[in-house]
Structure 1
Amino acid sequence: MILIEILRSILEVILGIAVFGLVAVGVSFLILIVINIIELATGKRWREPVPPLKLSDAELPHVLVQIPAFNEGKIAADALFAAATLDWPQDKLHIQLLDDSTDETSELAEAATQQLRAQGFDVLHIRRDDRDGFKAGALAHGMTKNDAPIVALLDIDFRAPRGWLRIAVPYLLADPKAGFLQSRCEFSNYRTNWLTRVQGLMLDAHYVMEQATRYRAGWLFQFNGTGGLWRRAAIEAAGGWMGDSLSEDLDLVVRAELAGWHGIFLMDPAVPGLVPDRLDHWRVQQRRWSNGFVQVARKLLGDVWSSDWTLGRKISASALILIQAFYLCAATATLALLACVVLRGFNIVPYLPMIEFLLILIAIVALSMTLLPYLILRRGSVWQYLTTVVSVPPMMIYMSVSNAPSILKTVFRGSRESFMRTPKSHQNAGTQEF
């Protein structure tokens, strides 16, 4: 009996720590919500991008478009054709397919490359002997083949609007200390099934509420690895792309900010791509992101706190870098709570106040973070919204329990995992014909 009491006490301490972590994550989102409320109430945004430069074609810089690929099949060729439709002077547009494939993708990509080169486009199909550094290694290798001052990144399933560069590049050039620009991403297959609808809701909240608000507040925010631009000077000042994290994009952003650069977030035009339409594919993607964030935290959190940033900026940056701790805290809290209830003879009453508090916090955060983007972007009816948003909490709990062991391993061992690509659904990616 005494041993059961001791075990229950230990588990309740663990439960309390996990709940504290969940509350900390919730509070970080509540701050973003409050900022939006203040902006709506005052009618004034905290920050706007510097007005874009007005440039003639002769003044436009050379732009390198990099498209990483690994065993993507025909979608790789489609990505090349889509990049060639971008409205930019042909002699200043340089396209690279960074192809680490081990299947028939390379043959299809080479055929598309030759077709575009015959039409006068500067397209390179770049192959490496190995996948050293994964995506980061491919991006770094590609940059050695071209010296364009602006680098645009597009994942294989993203199709930038024709006028994207014309709009985005002048914003980046207008701010001399802007190291990168992140465009809002759309997801063209978000109506495919319940899983894509849930992801669409969450990702709309990420871009409209989290990314945009962090930018307006002057805080560190993510580069999402696609649908964005980088200044070559900022990449080089930060030490270049590094392959020691599965979240090479966040890693570069933090290092660039420490080197004195900052980012710009652009709501429009959005760059459409795809979300995983199968649960196992989504789990792979989320696990990669979670482990990558932990690796960045292990690597750079100390540098953030030893920097000359203000205390508020350090705290906000830490909140972003540690955001994936939600999964570990949620999994720990769920398992610890179940164990405590069992040890109390299935008596849940002592834990009801805590459960009610968490449910209220989750409801406030989930509704406040997702409803406004849903309405702004006109995603559908209120009924469709309600039927989707109720799926968010259980899906997050499932993902937490599924990914927690891998995250915990990375926390304590800093494990170096292989970059597991997220499978793409070719029929939803869109194609361009030449």
Structure 2
Amino acid sequence: MLLFLVDLIVFLCLLAQFAIAGYFLYLIYWLFELPADDAPEPALPADLPRVLVQIPVYNEPLVVERAVAAAGALDWPHDRLVVQLLDDSTDITSDIAVHAVARLRQQGVEVHHVRRENRSGFKAGALAAGLALDDAPYVAVFDADFVPAPDWLRRTMAAMLANPQAAFVQTRIEWGNGDANWLTRAQRLMQDAHFAVEQDVRARRGVPFQFNGTGGIWRRAAVEDAGGWSHDTLSEDLDLVLRTYLGGWTGVFLMEPHVVGELPQRVDEFGVQQSRWSKGFVQVARKLLGPVWNADWSPEAKFTTTVALGQQLIFPLLAVGIVGLVLSILGHGKLLGLFRFGLWLWLIAMLVVLIGMTWGAYRRLQRGDVLRYLITAASVPAVIVYLAFVNTASIVGAGFGKKTEFKRTPKKGT
């Protein structure tokens, strides 16, 4: 009986992974099926609205000065631009920030150095506290390590104003240290697939897609209509996105302009970041999957949102499946024929997903030659297996409602 249960668990893990693979095959299909988006960028009106730029920071001494300077360099009338440095730091970051803010004020930019008594609500709490201090109708958000080009605000605001039902505009992220080592190259390849395939396809198909927490603009009316920022999950951005979609709003995704950010360069830092993201997705799924399925959405929108929220389950499914398969082989003294067939199908499906998602993005963004792609793509499965065993416990804990602290990823300013 025990061996039968082990076999059943392995079989169910395989089935669930095939379901997740189906979501990525959907994305690959539409990547090639959708026509190219050649529409010209919309023009800005003559009368520009006020925009609030929020930069939440927590102990980021190596990047805070650059972040403040980049916000001040945005091409927008100074009398209609407000910058908030939402500083919850407990180290020398705040001392550095004081001087960076002072320099920006000398340039005629309205900038506020906002300090809170405690770190309640973490990033979501800081963003909500900043919103309470200003009534600007549009709010741009940048994490401390993200740098926009001077024309970023004009181009993203043009898209926002041209789409009155858009709750947010999300732009693509480039990575300043994407070539630092094998790990950052693997991450960049996966992130390119996320932006150039997943985000772009879902946006153009008109189904909910993700706000990535940085490099985007929110419409204040949509934020308030959805109930504002909430800190009951570790993915406050995804939580807010789905609540705005449930309220009838939409989103806009732009491949260009992009912002430049930073990837973790060490395996342990990468693991911490991914663990936080995985827990956040599971927490949002617990909170909002019910309302999503009760919403007046198309089956396509419900399917893509459900699988996107549940795709983090690939990690515990992979870990449990591997352990179960080993126990099955030991118990039977051989690999069962059903599992041999299933593993071949799994291998084919995963190769199609890996190549379809990453090659499409790699080619679209012109990252390099085929050999360079193959070398980088070959490292991705190892990264996935590592995450499977590192993230499983935290994902299961989040699934059962366990709350954890928001652990930031250290930034080096590269």
Bin the TM-score by the shorter chain: over 0.9
- Asked if 1:417 is matched to 2:407, the reply is no
Task: Name the aligned partner's letter for residue 404 of structure 2.
Answer: E
Q: CA deviation at 1:349?
A: 5.4
Task: Name the aligned partner's letter for residue 408 of structure 2.
Answer: R
The partner residue of 2:136 within 137, 144, 148 is 148
Worse-matched range after superposition: 328-337 or 192-201: 328-337
8 Å Cα contact 1:50-1:174 kept in structure 2: no
Worse-matched range after superposition: 348-357 or 79-88: 348-357
The partner residue of 1:89 within 74, 77, 91 is 77
Residue 169 (structure 1) aligns with: 157
8 Å Cα contact 2:228-2:240 kept in structure 1: yes
Residues 25-424 of structure 1: matches in 2 within 5 Å? Answer: 25-39=20-34, 44-45=35-36, 52-56=42-46, 59-345=47-333, 347-348=334-335, 350=337, 351-412=339-400, 414-424=401-411
Distance 1:50 1:300, change over 3 A: farther
Distance 1:312 1:193 in 2: 38
Distance 1:264 1:354 in 2: 39
Distance 1:199 1:74 in 2: 22
TM-score when normalising by structure 2: 0.97
Task: Name the aligned partner's letter for residue 161 of structure 1.
Answer: A
Q: CA deviation at 1:336?
A: 1.2
Distance 1:142 1:48, change over 3 A: farther
Specify the SS of the correspondent of 1:242: coil
Q: Give CA-to-partner distance per residue, 1:286-341, whole Å, 9 cap, x none.
A: 00000000100111110111112223322222122212121121122112112212
Aligned pair count?
Answer: 413
Distance 1:357 1:34 in 2: 19
8 Å Cα contact 1:159-1:273 kept in structure 2: yes
Task: Name the aligned partner's letter for residue 42 of structure 2.
Answer: P
Distance 1:311 1:357 in 2: 27
Specify the SS of the correspondent of 2:63: helix
Task: Name the aligned partner's letter for residue 142 of structure 1.
Answer: G
Distance 1:258 1:49 in 2: 28
Distance 2:103 2:83 in 1: 13
8 Å Cα contact 1:74-1:109 kept in structure 2: no
8 Å Cα contact 2:27-2:197 kept in structure 1: yes
Distance 2:375 2:325 in 1: 27
The partner residue of 2:7 within 9, 12, 26 is 12
Q: Give CA-to-partner distance per residue, 1:250-273, whole Å, 9 cap, x none.
A: 000000000110100001111111
Distance 1:48 1:306, change over 3 A: farther
Q: CA deviation at 1:244?
A: 0.3
Distance 2:284 2:40 in 1: 30
Distance 2:358 2:190 in 1: 7
Distance 2:126 2:26 in 1: 37
Task: Name the aligned partner's letter for residue 357 of structure 2.
Answer: M
Distance 2:62 2:409 in 1: 16
8 Å Cα contact 2:62-2:411 kept in structure 1: no
Q: Give CA-to-partner distance per residue, 1:43-89, whole Å, 9 cap, x none.
A: x35x7879624322xx1111111111011113112210111111111
8 Å Cα contact 1:51-1:174 kept in structure 2: no
Q: CA deviation at 1:102?
A: 0.8
8 Å Cα contact 1:15-1:333 kept in structure 2: yes
Q: CA deviation at 1:407?
A: 0.6
Identity of aligned residues (%): 45
Pairwise CA RMSD of aligned residues? Answer: 1.4
Distance 1:8 1:91 in 2: 71
Specify the SS of the correspondent of 2:148: coil
Q: CA deviation at 1:107?
A: 0.8
Specify the SS of the correspondent of 2:30: helix
Unmatched 5+ stretches in structure 2: none
Distance 1:371 1:275 in 2: 20
Unmatched 5+ stretches in structure 1: 1-5, 429-434
Distance 2:263 2:402 in 1: 26
Distance 2:244 2:262 in 1: 28
Distance 1:283 1:148, change over 3 A: same
TM-score when normalising by structure 1: 0.93
Distance 2:39 2:180 in 1: 34
Moved over 4 A (4+): 47-51
